[in-house]
Amino acid sequence: MTEMVHGAVAEKPGEPLLPRWWRTVDRWSLGAVLGLFVIGLLLGLAASPPLASRNGLDPFHYVTRQAFFGVIAFAAMIVVSMMSPTEIRRKAVLGFLAATIAVALLPVFGTDFGKGATRWYSLGFASVQPSEFLKPAFVVFSAWLMAASYDLSGPPGRAMSFVVAVILALILALQPDFGQASLILAAWGLMYFVAGASILLLVLCAAGVVGAGLFAYANSEHVARRIDGFLSPDIDPRTQIGFATNAIQEGGFFGVGVGEGTVKWSLPDAHTDFIIAVAAEEFGLLLCLLVIALFAVVVIRSFMRLLGERDPFIRLAGTGLAALFGMQAIINLGVAARLLPAKGMTLPFVSYGGSSIVAAGLAMGMLLALTRHRPQDHLSEIIGRGR
C-alpha cells in the first residue's frame, strides 16, 4: 500500500533494461522535450538562413549543425536516463570537477568571439561553453553534499555547498556571465529551501545577492549599461531588445506568416538568445504559449514525481535540475519580452548551440533517471541508515 501511495513500481525479475526503462521513465516529459527540439529545428529553418548568408555559408548550415548536436544530445539523454541514482551521482561529481577546472581556466585559454565575455573554448571546428555543463553537475554535486548532512555523523554539507556556490558564482561573474551565476545561486537556494533551510537564512542570502548586484552595478560598466537599458522607459529600436520587442508586437496572435518575418535579418542572435522573437513574429502568440506549456509539463511533472521520493539525494538533485531547466527558460523568455535585463542565455532545446543542447540533454537525462518510478524503501529503513 505504501508503494502504491508514493507511485513506486515494483521491479520485475529478469526484465530487460529497455522495457524496464520505458515502463518507469516519465514519457510525458520525454515527449515534451522532443516537441521543444522539433520546434527549435522549425524556428532554426526560419531564423538561421540570414546569418548563414551573411557568413557565406549554406542556407541551412546552422540547422544541419543543430540537428547533428541534437542527435548527440538525445542519445546522451537516453543513455544517462537509464543510469541508477548512484551512477548519476558518481559521474556528475567527476563532471563537476572537470567543468570547474575548465571554467576557471577560461581567462587563460578561452575566447570571447568578439562578444565581450570570455565564455568559450575554440576548438576550430566547434566551440565549447563549459559553464553549460557546470550547472547540472553543480546541482547534483550540491545535492550529494546536502544529502550527506542528513546523516548524524555526516559533514556540514549544506554549508559546504553554499561555499562552493559562492565561489562558482564569483568565477562566472568575472567572465562576466551574470546570467549563469544567477542560475547557480537560484538553483542552490531552492535546493537549500527543500533541504530544510530557515526562511531567515534564505532572506539573508537574498539580501547578500542584492548587495552583490548593487556592487556590480556601481563597479561594472557592462552591468550598469544593461540595467539602465532595462529600466529606461524608452527602447532604442536599433538594439537587440528593440528589435525583439517590435517583432513580438508585430506577430500578434497568429503571426505574420512563415518566412515573412523581418527580425531575423536584424538580430545577430535571432537563432540563439532571441529565438522566441522569431517564433512570436512568424507564428504568433499561439506557438509561444505552446513552448511555455511544454516547459511547464517537464517542470511540473518532475516535481510531482519527486513528491513521493524518500531518498534525500534524489529529491534534492531532481528538484535542482527541474528548477534549473525552468528558470533558464523563464530568463530567456523574460529577456526577449523585456521583463528582465538582457542576459546571454539560450532557450533549452530550442535555441541554436552545440554546448547548450548537449548539456541540456545530459541534464534532462539525469532528471529523467532521478524521476523514474522505483521501489521506495520504508521510511524506517532510511532513518536506520542515518544512525
**Distance between CA atoms of residues 173 and 324, nearest Å:** 18
pLDDT in tens, 131-165: 999 999 999 999 999 999 888 787 888 889 999 99
Instruction: Say if residues 293 and 267 touch (Cβ distance below 8 Å).
Output: no
CA distances from 2 to 96, 135, 250, 362 (A): 36, 34, 54, 32
Q: Phi and psi at residue 121, in whole multiples of 5°?
A: -105, 125
Q: Phi and psi at residue 128, in whole multiples of 5°?
A: -125, 130
Nearest-Å Rg of the Cα atoms of the chain is: 21
Which of 143, 145, 134 lies closest to 184, judged by CA? 134
Cell representation of residue 81: 536516463
Instruction: Say if residues 147 and 316 touch (Cβ distance below 8 Å).
Output: yes
Q: What is the pLDDT along the chain (387 residues), one digit of tens a residue?
A: 334 334 445 556 667 888 889 999 999 999 999 999 999 999 988 888 888 888 888 888 889 999 999 999 999 999 999 999 999 999 999 999 999 999 999 988 888 876 767 888 888 777 899 999 999 999 999 999 999 988 878 788 888 999 999 999 989 888 878 888 889 999 999 999 888 877 777 788 778 778 877 877 777 776 777 777 777 776 766 677 777 888 888 888 888 887 778 788 777 777 888 889 889 999 999 999 999 999 999 999 999 999 988 899 999 999 999 999 999 999 999 888 888 887 778 899 999 988 999 999 999 999 999 999 877 654 444 445 444
| Site of grid cell 557592462 | 222
pLDDT in tens, 174-213: 887 888 888 999 999 999 988 887 777 778 877 877 887 7
Q: Phi and psi at residue 381, in whole multiples of 5°?
A: -70, -40
**Distance between CA atoms of residues 168 and 136, nearest Å:** 13
**Distance between CA atoms of residues 121 and 141, nearest Å:** 24
Q: Model pTM?
A: 0.89
**Distance between CA atoms of residues 387 and 384, nearest Å:** 5
What is the dihedral sign for C-alpha 371, 27, 188, 92?
A: positive
